[in-house]
Structures are given as structure tokens and as C-alpha cells.
Structure 1
Amino acid sequence: MPTPQPVRLRTSDLLRLGGSGLRARPLRAVLSALGIAIGIAAMVAVVGISTSSRADLDRALAALGTNMLTVAPGNTMLGETATLPDDALGMIERIGPVTSATATGRVTDANVYRTDRIPQGETGGLSLLAAQLDLLATVGADLARGTWLNAATARYPAVVLGASAARRLGDVPAVYIGGRWYTVIGVLDRVPLAPEIDDAVLIGWDAAETYLAFDGHATTVYTRSVDSQVEAVRSVLAPTANPESPDEVEVSRPSDALAARRAANQTFTALLLGLGAVALLVGGIGVANTMVISVLERRAEIGLRRSLGATRGQIRTQFVAESLLLSLLGGAGGVLGGVAVTAVYAGTQQWPTVVPLWAAAGGLGATLVIGVIAGLYPAIRAARLAPTEALAAA
């Protein structure tokens, strides 16, 4: 007579068995799941709050120009002021991580006056800059009133005033430059990232070459690049802008705000790892304690199932499945709780609410790992009980 083979439990059978064990003791299951939920909620909330805070910090630091670098001509070996090549801007724009680049050029042979009655030497310290049309977007400037230069006005006698220049000149409809009147078409707000623009009168590149004998050489190139590549971009800016004489190029160093951002990121990461480890440890101990007690209280059930033909493997699988369900219940509640805490706290701080997908997935994944580890010992212990021993102890 052939030896009967044990029936293989289907997934639905395991879920039903595990769920029946939890439904038999609902209060204990809820309290154990609550312990896991609190731990996972704390971990998700830390990730969410830190990520939301980081998003707000990134937004504030972006306004400070952490990814903006400037390129300017330095001095030659003879001590004279160098010049950037005509194609310097185009070459810089070809650098991979550079997202945008624009330039201004100082017009040295003309001064700006409020009227044609002012003596020639009284310039008021205002500078005249030829500007590329994409200057505002790159340096983060905004208009206080009027309009910015466009493809049409950049070719004709029209200017835009920096904030300080407008204050010094007053509310004038036009300024006098190089023996010609130039219409004021706009006024800029202050530009924190490029304060030199505040004291400048900006004219179109083509108009400067046509009316003011501008030589067409950029005196300042503004670049924006990918945050993670700022240092790498800085290292190649000089040889890219002037391959023949890179020593004659001055490149600004990355903003101190970039270092502040990285320090903040490291702090958030350390906080996450520390609190997350504690939360997982506490949750795992709670599940293990619940499952050990469950094994002790259910010896009669274990003995009866073994006497009816259940194998040790099936007993182990049953208790591991029960532990997984318990952990998954707590993990799902913890993820939802963590998201809710993040949303409430971020709202009170006027931050954007950001909970990374990996944090929610990681929380659920962590609970599954906890469930397996915490339920393994009680499951093995239950499987080792002999039917007669289990029934006698009951």
C-alpha cells in the first residue's frame, strides 16, 4: 500500500489559516500590529518630514543659486586684462551637465546719463552692459515693471534698468548714451544672484554692437548646471571657455549653500537610519513575543492538527504566514499613519508634502522581513511539538 503524501497547502489555505489565528485573539493581534504600525509610521514620517523639509530647503537654496557659476576674463601673464574668445559662450553651452548659459558684456566706450545736460564726468557709477536675451531666466531675475528685451527691441535703442540704476536715474522715459537717446522699456527687481546687474543699464547685444562700438566679447558668463555636477563643471569651465589660455579665465567657486545642502542631507539620512533601526527592532520583538505566546496557548490545536496528518512543514508554514499577516497589517497601518503625519506637519510648516515611494515600499518590505524573522522561531518550536506531547500539555 503506497504511503499517503501530505496535501500541499495553497496560498489561499495559508491566508485562511493565518487569518483564523488572528481573528481568534483580535485584541492581542491589534495591539501587536499597533506596535509595528507605530514603528513603521515613525520611520515613514521621518523620511516624509525630512524629504518635505529637504524639498523646501532645495527650493530656498535654489533661489540662492547653488548651481550657478560665473566665468570672467582674468589677467594675462603681463598683467593686462584678458578677453574671452568670441565662441566662449557657445563652447560652455556644449558641456553636458550645463543646463543653461548666458552672458553680459561691458560696454566701455559709453556712459549713461539721465539727460544730455549732465557733465560728461558725472556718470553716477552706472555700468552699461550688453545682454543676451535669456539672461533673466539664467540668473533668476524678475521684472518690476515694463518688458524685457526681445528679438526686436534688442536691435534698437532700448534699455532695461537694474533696480539700483532705476533708483538713481529716477522715473525717466529714456536715458542718454553716447550722444543718442535710448528708450527705457523695463525695470528689474533686485537680482540677489548677480548684484552687479542691479547697478547696470542693459542693452541688447546687437544694439550695442551697432550703436556703441561694442567689441562683442563677453565679460561675464553665467551658467546653471546639474546640482550633483557643479564641481565637475567648474573644473572644465576655464579650459572650455579659453582652450588656448585657461589660466586667463576666472571661475567662481560653488556656493557655500551647496555644502549646506549636502550637510543637511547627511543629517537627515543619519536620523532616518537610527530611528528606522530602533522602530524595526521594537516591532520585531513585539511580533515575536505575540507568536511565542500564541504557540504556547495553541498546543492543543497543534497536537490535533499533527494527529490528523499535518506535517511539521505545514505547521511551520502556518505560523510564519500568521506572523506575516500580523506584520503586514501593522506595516500598512504604519505607512498610512506616516503619510498622514507628514501631510499634517508639512502643512503647518508650509512645506510641500513629499513622501518618497521607496519609503512606503520599504516600510512594507521591512514589515515582511520582520514577520519572517519574528515568526520563524515560534514556527519551528510549534513544528517540533509531538502530537501526544501537545495534546497531553493541553
Structure 2
Amino acid sequence: MKPRDLWNEALAGILARPMRAALTTLGTVLGITTLVITLGVAATAGNQIVGRFDELVATAITVEVPRDPQNPLVDWAALERVGRLRGVTSVAAVSEGEDSSNLRVRSNNLVDPTRVTTQTLSVLGATTDLPEAARGRMVQGRFYDIGHVRRKDRVAVIGEQAARMLGITRLERSPAVFIGKHAYTVVGILGELRREQNLSTAIMVPHTVGRQFGLKDVSRVLVNTGLGAAEQIARQAPTALSPEHADLLQVAAPPSPTRARDQAQNDANALFLVLGLVSLVVGAVGIANVTLVTVMERIAEIGLRRALGAARRHIAAQFLMESTLIGLTGGIIGASVGIVATVAISAAREWTPLLDLRLAVAAPIAGAIVGLLAGLYPALRAARMEPVDALR
């Protein structure tokens, strides 16, 4: 039997029962589609996980500045030098002290026995770029600006949780908080902090007016960098802040996320791959079942072919070709549907789809291999039939 004759016979066998062939192909289509979708979505979702991980973890640097009452190690003006380093996106300095960690703060100067208006909160001095450096958002109002700092205005920004504790919900009438004997006008409420969550329960004032609470020296510097620049900035920041005492500053830099990131992505890919393979096995079982039923229905045809001189290998090759064609067709359709579905899911989630061209080529080949393996047993069973038994 020539390859052309084998092709014609296999195609005729499939088209003789178009509905059954279509339903059999559907099993492979579903398996390949599921495999392509799971692998595509896994790669896309893994890329999003990596991006979020890098954005939120691998770009934050904290420089701890030891206190030296006689000779401050870092000057407030040194932040400008850090901001000029290549890769730095935001930088802010914070001044904290033991004397300001538990101060009694009142939301008004009246005694109201029906509600608690006095809370014990932390007060800290900070530069104007603190919201960006802490990756927070001004829930209400605004953060104080450089004008407030230079004029030494008694203004304050309170954390979102501190505002609830003090009963401050609106800023239209410029409410004030009393820290000690002095009133500070609340100009904003800071919330949604993705870094330095302790600021949610703190009162922030310009560092120029925090000296009465012992907040005159920099105690901590918050630095945010672009992706991939954290390690370099961690080495350069101490020198930029204090060239003479760089070795005394303690830098907390994020560890390299490569290993953890790759492990998380590999785990996600493995999980989705298993799900896709299970679906593919289900499709293969469907092809094997339908091919076996087809062999049983075509016993007379097999006997006639054997009686007319067809060898066992010709019968086996015919059924193997039929199952392979069904698997190949299902693989092509499944790969196309899977790619379209992956792009649609990514668009709905506003993700950037990651499509491997090798997967688009391998999916039809995988479908053909599945069809070939699924038709192996039915084809061997058909080839073992004796002409006399088949015709009887």
C-alpha cells in the first residue's frame, strides 16, 4: 500500500462517519485547548507575580542612622545627594526618638466625659517626600510642603488609623491636634501604606518644628529604587549620606529575589501543566474508545481486505493513520482556540500575555502523538484478526 493510498483510505474512513469523527476530535480539542490555556495563563500570571514581587519587595532600601548627640552622622540636606543617584525614584528621611514615641495627643482642648479625645501616639519629624517613599496615599488633604518646613509652621499630617482614634474624619474646617501645650493644624491624612505601616498610627510634623520633642537628627532614611538598582544603591547610599561615617550606617537592602521568584513561577507552571496533561489524557482515552468501537464495527471490512491480500501492517497502518489525523486536527484547532482564549483572559485582567511560539507548534504535534498512541491498541487488535474469523 502506497502512502497516498493509505492517506486516502484513512481519510475516507474518517469522513464515512463525520459526526463520530467530529465528537472524537472534540475530545482532543478540549485537551489541547486546556493545555495551551493553562500553560499560557501560567506564564502570564507568573510574569505578573514576578512584577509585583519586584515592585513591592526588591526596590525598598532602609538606612538606619545611629544617634550621636555630639555629632549627627547624617544631615537633612544629604537627602539631595541620594536623590541624584542613578536608579533612585524617591527618598525621604524620618526622625524618631524615645521621647516622642509615646506622647499624649488630644483632638481638642475641651474635656468631654462621653468620649476619649486623648491618645498616646508616636510623633516623628519627616521630610516632604515621605508619602511617596512610604508608598502611601493622601486619603484626605495634602502633605506639608517645603514652605511649611522653612517657615516652621505648626502643621501635622496624621496616619489614617490615628485619625480614627482621635475622631478626625473631615479636614474642611482645619482641625487641630494638641501635642503638649501647642496646637498643630492637621493638613492631611496619610493612608494605604505599602511600606512603613507604623506611620498609620503616628503624627508627622516638619522636622524643623520637631526639635521640642527631640526630633532634630535623622534616624532613618527610606529609599525606593527602580527595578534592578537596589543592590547598587544599597552600596552607594551610605557614602552619599555621610561620606566620613558611611561604615557606621546600617543598610537594610532586599535580598536577591531571583531564586524565590523562579521557584514560585516553576511551582505555578508545574501545577497548571499537570491540569493540562490530565485533560489531554481524557481526550486520549476518548480517541482510543471511539477507535476501538470503529474497529468492532468494521470487522467485515477488515476481513474482506485481508482476504483480498492486505497484510497485517496495512490494516494497522490504516487505523493508526485515522487516529493520528483525528489527533492532529484536534491539536491544530485546540492550539488556535487556546491562544485566542489566553489573549482574551489576559486582556480581561489587563495583563501582558506571554505566548511561546514553540507551544503553538508543539500543540498540533502533541495532538498527533496522542492520537497515534490512542489508536495503537485498536490498530493492533484489528491487525490480529484472521480473515476467516472476520468474515464469519
Match of 2:224 in 1: 223
> Is the 1:130–1:204 contact (alpha carbons within 8 Å) kept by the matching residues of 2?
yes
> Is the 1:69–1:222 contact (alpha carbons within 8 Å) kept by the matching residues of 2?
yes
> Is the 1:237–1:251 contact (alpha carbons within 8 Å) kept by the matching residues of 2?
no
> Is the 1:128–1:202 contact (alpha carbons within 8 Å) kept by the matching residues of 2?
yes
Residue identity matched to 1:159:
A
> Is the 1:32–1:286 contact (alpha carbons within 8 Å) kept by the matching residues of 2?
yes
* Counterparts of 1:371 and 1:40, CA distance in 2: 7
Match of 1:73 in 2: 64
Match of 2:366 in 1: 370
* Counterparts of 1:51 and 1:319, CA distance in 2: 31
> Is the 1:82–1:248 contact (alpha carbons within 8 Å) kept by the matching residues of 2?
no
* Counterparts of 1:66 and 1:273, CA distance in 2: 28
> Is the 1:148–1:185 contact (alpha carbons within 8 Å) kept by the matching residues of 2?
yes
Deviation of the 1:194 alpha carbon: 1.0
Deviations along 1:99-136, whole A, 9 cap, x unmatched? Answer: x3221231779999659999xxx995532312233x32
Instruction: Answer yes or no: is 1:250 the counterpart of 2:250.
Output: yes
- SS for the counterpart of 1:104 is strand
* Counterparts of 1:289 and 1:364, CA distance in 2: 27
Deviations along 1:330-372, whole A, 9 cap, x unmatched? Answer: 44455667889x79xxxxxxx948694417x665433322255
Residue identity matched to 2:18:
P
Deviation of the 1:165 alpha carbon: 4.6
Question: In terms of mean alpha carbon deviation, does 156-165 or 320-329 score higher?
Answer: 320-329
> Is the 1:29–1:326 contact (alpha carbons within 8 Å) kept by the matching residues of 2?
no
Matches within 5 A, 1:195-274: 195-204=197-206, 217=218, 219-226=220-227, 229=228, 233=230, 235-243=231-239, 244=243, 245-252=245-252, 254=254, 264-274=264-274
Match of 2:313 in 1: none
1:34 to 26, 31, 35: 26
* Counterparts of 1:363 and 1:188, CA distance in 2: 47
> Is the 2:158–2:188 contact (alpha carbons within 8 Å) kept by the matching residues of 1?
yes
TM-score, structure 2 normalization: 0.57
TM-score, structure 1 normalization: 0.57
Deviation of the 1:137 alpha carbon: 3.2
Instruction: List gaps (5 residues or longer) in structure 2.
Output: 1-6, 111-117, 169-173, 306-319, 376-389
* Counterparts of 1:41 and 1:355, CA distance in 2: 20
Instruction: Answer yes or no: is 1:43 the counterpart of 2:35.
Output: yes
Matches within 5 A, 1:125-204: 126-133=122-129, 135-150=130-145, 153=148, 155-156=150-151, 157=153, 158-163=155-160, 165-166=162-163, 171=168, 173-175=175-177, 182-189=184-191, 191=193, 193-204=195-206
Match of 1:329 in 2: 333
* Counterparts of 2:158 and 2:353, CA distance in 1: 44
Structure 1 residues 67 and 27 mapped into 2: Cα distance closer, same or farther (>3 Å)?
Answer: same
Q: Percent identity?
A: 23
Deviation of the 1:89 alpha carbon: 5.9
* Counterparts of 1:155 and 1:141, CA distance in 2: 24
> Is the 1:74–1:81 contact (alpha carbons within 8 Å) kept by the matching residues of 2?
no
Instruction: Answer yes or no: is 1:83 the counterpart of 2:73.
Output: yes
> Is the 2:40–2:354 contact (alpha carbons within 8 Å) kept by the matching residues of 1?
no
> Is the 1:36–1:280 contact (alpha carbons within 8 Å) kept by the matching residues of 2?
yes
> Is the 1:66–1:254 contact (alpha carbons within 8 Å) kept by the matching residues of 2?
yes
* Counterparts of 1:217 and 1:372, CA distance in 2: 68
> Is the 1:105–1:129 contact (alpha carbons within 8 Å) kept by the matching residues of 2?
yes
Deviation of the 1:67 alpha carbon: 3.8
> Is the 1:238–1:247 contact (alpha carbons within 8 Å) kept by the matching residues of 2?
no
Match of 1:347 in 2: none
Residue identity matched to 1:219:
R
Match of 1:105 in 2: 94
Structure 1 residues 91 and 146 mapped into 2: Cα distance closer, same or farther (>3 Å)?
Answer: closer
Structure 1 residues 274 and 321 mapped into 2: Cα distance closer, same or farther (>3 Å)?
Answer: closer
- SS for the counterpart of 1:196 is helix
Match of 2:355 in 1: 358
* Counterparts of 1:80 and 1:50, CA distance in 2: 57
Deviation of the 1:18 alpha carbon: 9.4
Structure 1 residues 91 and 323 mapped into 2: Cα distance closer, same or farther (>3 Å)?
Answer: same
Structure 1 residues 270 and 149 mapped into 2: Cα distance closer, same or farther (>3 Å)?
Answer: same
Instruction: List gaps (5 residues or longer) in structure 1.
Output: 1-13, 302-315, 344-350, 379-392
* Counterparts of 1:376 and 1:164, CA distance in 2: 65
* Counterparts of 2:71 and 2:279, CA distance in 1: 62
Deviation of the 1:254 alpha carbon: 3.9
Residue identity matched to 1:43:
L
Aligned residues: 342
Residue identity matched to 1:221:
L
Deviation of the 1:179 alpha carbon: 8.8
* Counterparts of 2:72 and 2:284, CA distance in 1: 67
Deviation of the 1:240 alpha carbon: 1.0
> Is the 2:104–2:119 contact (alpha carbons within 8 Å) kept by the matching residues of 1?
yes
